[in-house]
Structure 1
Amino acid sequence: HTVETATAKAFASELLLKATNVAVDVHGGFGGTKRFPIERILRDARIWVFAQGAPNIMKLIVMRDLFKRLEPSQALIEKIAAKG
């Protein structure tokens, strides 16, 4: 289930950062101050994302699996070689 886990982590990480960035934007100039809790939430979100594994690494795990699945079978390669 490595690929499924990596996919979920990458997706959740992107959504978490997007949501917290929107929340900061909604608060305007106060979004980056300690006056509202959103500043801490954004800091926590960034730390959580990398604590779960860097998003780029998660994407590499998914891509590696996809390329393995797309790799032509040895039988297909031999069939093409026999025709050529």
Structure 2
Amino acid sequence: MLTSYLTLMHAAEENGRPCPKLDVIQTQELIALLMNPPAFEEPALYELLRDRVESAPSEASQIKRSFLEAVVDEKIFCPLIGKDCASDLLAEMNK
């Protein structure tokens, strides 16, 4: 998921087009990667969660919101997204 999306993102930038936001499946795959991140990919994964999942009401944004709420409520542990970071990301979604 990560490699294919980054390739898509770079191709869009090269052609002067905006890169599409992550869809539902990509968002689910991203969260799975965040829970068990590949070595050296942590910054890219965080940036995708922060910047490439829509904040507007959508199924992908609801998946992101549910994930972040579970981290804040300590229902799940994510090595890359702590409770404070998840809270900050939720606040950004609510703007």
Taking structure 1 as the reference length, what is the TM-score of the superposition? 0.31
> As a proportion of its length, which structure holds more helix?
1
Higher RCO (C-alpha 8 Å, min separation 6): 1
Taking structure 2 as the reference length, what is the TM-score of the superposition? 0.28
Q: Specify the structure having the higher radius of gyration (Cα).
A: 1
